[in-house]
Amino acid sequence: MSLVIEHLSKSFNGHQAVKDLSFQFTEPSVFAFLGTNGAGKSTSIRMILNMLKKDSGTVLWKGKPLNVLEERIGYLAEERGLYPKYNVEEQMYYFASLKGLKKSQAAPAIDYLFGRLNINEYRKKKAEQLSKGNQQKVQLAAALICNPELIILDEPLSGLDPVNADLFKSIIREERDKGKFIIMSCHQMETIEEFCEDLVLLHRGETVMQGNLNEIKKSYGRVNLTVKADRDFLHIADEIGLTVVEDTPNGTNFKVRSDEQAQDFLQRMLEQKINVVKFDLREPSLHELFVEKCGPAAQEGEKTNEA
Amino acid sequence: MKLKGWKNIFAFTFSQQIKTKSFIISTIIIAAIITVITATANILPVYLLEDEISQIENIASGDPVDFSVSKLYIADETGLETNFNVTAVSFGFKLEKISPDEFESKLSELETTSENAMLARAYEKDGILSLDAYYAGENSTVNPSDCTTILSTLSTQLQMKYLDSLGVASNEITTVMSGVNTQLLKAGKEATSMVQDMINTIIPMLSSLVLFIFIFAYSQLVAQAIAIEKSSRVMEYLLTSVSPLSIIVGKVLAICLVSLLQFIILICSGVLGFLVSMPFGIFSKIDGLVAAASDSGIGASAQQTLVDIQGAFSNFNIDTILIIIFTFVLGFLFYSLIAGLAGASISKMEDLSAAIQPMSIIGALGFYLAYMPQIGAMDGETNVLMAVARYLPFSSPFCLPSAYMLGQISLGEACLSLLALLASVIILCIIVAKVYEHIVLYTGDRLKIGDMLKIAKTSK
């Protein structure tokens, strides 16, 4: 069982929203689908789910073109909602029926999910009477009602308080452990690092990074250095050609070329009797990678290339 | 399997719509009003015409009529020896023949008597038969309208006796007494009475109005339902389970059934009001009244009116019912498909009224095209506009049933009109399916008609 996306492209009125997107999702796990706002994530998801017509490309699920109406697919859309005036429980039975579940099959699933999400007390209420967080729980329940094999969660944690965010995370973890294929789009990079092994990063419709997160990090090496000391050490950094990336209360961040350069820097500080409080040499975080690929520096680079 | 799941959408939409307070309350209130109106229309004439009905009923049953006149003095100077006893028995008064000499003294007595008496004198002058009658003065309680009725009956008897004396056979007398019906007709046109002409105008206008209200109001509900789905962002979830075509088909058919259900409930409530009031209403007595009126020569014009009404509704058979249902359903589909498209062209509820404006214009145009020519057609004659309106898809739903019911068009013409409507619905369905699929997730500003047509043209 695998999801294979090949050369997916889409443009609107001459604007290229998604350009030649390809990736493979071969093992049950959580796959990160990342990008800045407007990068083309939702458009790609809609094309994968066949809601939007593709300009080109194929979406294969279990080796065949994905027929979203026939497969068990759970989807939590970024722009989500419920019928505001209708009873929550009736809506759930309706969504279950659209997924092909009989009432007798839907009832235990609803009982389980509503219990797991702590929303049993809202069953008979109209959706508009629920808080945004509780509506989001109902929508997650709707996405999972058919025990889907492929789950697509577009910003599942946005707008949730920490307690409910943890609840959602635990449910995502449970689904992952059940052997589901989960594609998750999220702007909280710590959460992605917590869950995901593989990722795709989109920027202005183009894939700017993709693959296994650990391997990507390793390929960058330990190039991020944070230093904090009891007195000024910037002249030493200057001597060995290090430039400051960011100066924060927790220390000064540098980009180093190699472990040797970092060791040289430390040695020089010690020789000058500088008391080093913090010297942290590490791989880049996903947040840093994201900013590097999609942040202002990347945009400057694009402008230069265009020029 | 493009329509997979439409039944679930249909069932959910239907069950939610009939549970809404607006549907329940409006149905109950309108049904109650219709029940009361039909019952009142049936019962009210019985009270308004209480005396007249009682008199005619007594004539029909052969019982003495409870008239205020208890005695009739009659001086017959014609020499025809008419037997007025028949009238006396029918109306339940005593008859006393008097000689011409007694007439003046009886007239003097009549001024002061407390007896509910009447005095009549039949005579011939210059070859003309005359019948003068007087009723008792202020001390009595004689009702002048009773006297008029009696006088009219005495006059009929006198004429019949006169003809008999001339040797006219009894069947010829009946023919002569029936009078001569006159009509002024336009060449090439069937004869219709004024009542028929009124019916031919009022029924189409009323049915146009009722069909317009139902079809148009419920079509707007389709637009609203689609718009709610889009604005509440449920649409994206639904599309992982069903196709856009299933959504619009399920919704349109569900709301069509809701409107048909309300339509039938309202018709049933009218029938209920009629049936409940039947024992006390005019319609339970009508046959007897017509027969009695016919026998006695009273109310011949009323009888003709009833015949005209019967004639106007004589086409209300199974064909008509089927044509009403087909027209209603196809007309609803025509407008609700446009409405669905209007609902899908927006992403905010506040844009809804602007989005359905083109549909409102088409609907209003169709309605006036069906409605207005009726005003200029009081004589029941079909004019050019009426003929055109019956074949245009946006106006035919409002005028076809009444035209067929009143016999203004043949079954073949009605079927042709329905076929034109069906073809329009199919073409519209293809366009809507193409466009709807592409705009169902559209979340920008309201799409204009031109944009949607461009989408329909470019999508394969």
What pLDDT, in 10s, does the model give residues B357-412?
Answer: 888 899 999 988 888 776 665 555 667 888 888 899 999 998 888 888 777 888 89
Asked if A69 lies within 8 A of B4 by C-beta distance, the reply is yes
Tokens read off for A120: 């049993």
Per-residue pLDDT at B235: 86
Average pLDDT, chain A: 91
Q: Average pLDDT of A249-263? A: 91
Name the residue of chain A whose CA is nearest to B440's CA. A51
CATH architecture of structural domain A3-211:
3-Layer(aba) Sandwich (3.40)
Asked if B236 lies within 8 A of A79 by C-beta distance, the reply is yes
Are B256 and B336 in contact, with CB atoms under 8 Å apart?
yes
pLDDT band at A285 (very low <50, low <70, confident <90, very high): confident
Per-residue pLDDT at B218: 86
What span, in angstroms and rounded, lies between the C-alpha atoms of A212 and A197?
Answer: 6
Asked if B236 lies within 8 A of A94 by C-beta distance, the reply is no
Asked if B229 lies within 8 A of A79 by C-beta distance, the reply is no
Per-residue pLDDT at B299: 47
Best mutation target among A46, A66, A94, A150 (most B Cβ atoms within 10 Å) is A94
What span, in angstroms and rounded, lies between the C-alpha atoms of B229 and B246?
Answer: 14
Name the residue of chain A whose CA is nearest to B227's CA. A83
Q: Give the residue ranges of chain B where pLDDT is below 50.
A: 299, 460
Q: Average pLDDT of A39-52? A: 91
Q: Of B386, B392, B417, which is closest to residue B323 (Cα–Cα)?
A: B417
Q: Sign of dihedral through CA atoms B287, B290, B293, B298?
A: positive
3-state helix, strand, coil in chain A (%, to 5): 40, 30, 30
Q: Of A74, A110, A116, which is closest to residue A94 (Cα–Cα)?
A: A110
CATH architecture of structural domain A222-282:
2-Layer Sandwich (3.30)
Per-residue pLDDT at B458: 62
Q: Of B384, B338, B381, B334, which is closest to residue B357 (Cα–Cα)?
A: B338
What span, in angstroms and rounded, lies between the C-alpha atoms of B440 and B248?
Answer: 10
Asked if B237 lies within 8 A of A139 by C-beta distance, the reply is yes
Task: Pinpoint the alpha helices (H) of B62-193.
Answer: 85-91, 103-112, 144-165, 170-177
**Chain B residues with beta carbon closer than 8 angstroms to that of A55:** none
Asked if B237 lies within 8 A of A80 by C-beta distance, the reply is yes
Q: Give me the residue from B9, B20, B241 closest to A99, CB to CB.
A: B241
pTM for this prediction: 0.73
B114-155 pLDDT, tens per residue? 888 999 999 988 888 899 999 988 888 888 888 888 888 888
Q: Average pLDDT of A212-220? A: 88
Chain B contact present for A124, CB below 8 A: no
The residues near B383 (Cβ < 8 Å, ≥ 6 apart) are B373, B376, B377
Name the residue of chain B whose CA is nearest to A82's CA. B234
Q: In what order do the strands lie in the sheet with B94-97?
A: B94-97, B71-76, B117-125, B128-135
DSSP code of A119? -
Q: Residue B46's Cα: distance from chain center in Å?
A: 19
Q: Strand A181-185 vs strand A150-154: parallel, antiparallel, or unpaired?
A: parallel
Q: Average pLDDT of A3-25? A: 91
Q: Average pLDDT of A33-59? A: 91
**Chain B residues with beta carbon closer than 8 angstroms to that of A70:** 1
Per-residue pLDDT at B224: 87
A105-124 pLDDT, tens per residue? 999 999 999 999 999 999 99
Per-residue pLDDT at B460: 44
What span, in angstroms and rounded, lies between the C-alpha atoms of B433 and B446?
Answer: 18
The DSSP-derived string for B361-403 is HHHHHHHHHHHHHHHT-TT----HHHHHHTTSTTTHHHHHHHH
Best mutation target among B226, B240, B349 (most A Cβ atoms within 10 Å) is B240
Per-residue pLDDT at B378: 54
Q: In what order do the strands lie in the sheet with A244-248?
A: A244-248, A251-255, A224-229, A276-282
DSSP code of A278? E
Per-residue pLDDT at B382: 63
Residues 73-102 of A with CB under 8 A from B: 73-75, 77, 79-86, 90, 94-95, 97-99
- Give phi and psi for B188, each to the nearest 5: 80, 10
**Min distance A207 CA to chain B CA atoms (Å):** 24
Q: Give me the residue from B228, B237, B243 closest to A142, CB to CB.
A: B237
**Angstrom distances, CA of residue A254 to CA of A227, A246, A257:** 8, 7, 10
**What is the ipTM score, two decimals?**
0.83
Q: In what order do the strands lie in the sheet with A150-154?
A: A73-76, A150-154, A181-185, A30-35, A198-203, A206-212
**Min distance A131 CA to chain B CA atoms (Å):** 15
What span, in angstroms and rounded, lies between the C-alpha atoms of A59 and A50?
Answer: 9
Looking at the predicted structure, is the pLDDT value of residue A303 above 70?
A: no
Asked if A82 lies within 8 A of B443 by C-beta distance, the reply is no
Domain boundaries, chain A: 3-211, 222-282
Q: Give me the residue from A70, A86, A94 closest to B8, CB to CB.
A: A94
Per-residue pLDDT at A3: 93
Asked if B241 lies within 8 A of A49 by C-beta distance, the reply is no
Q: Give me the residue from B16, B441, B443 closest to A86, CB to CB.
A: B16
Per-residue pLDDT at B199: 67
| A264 vs B457, more confident | A264
What span, in angstroms and rounded, lies between the C-alpha atoms of B94 and B69?
Answer: 9
Q: Of B74, B77, B75, B81, which is closest to residue B164 (Cα–Cα)?
A: B81
Per-residue pLDDT at B119: 93
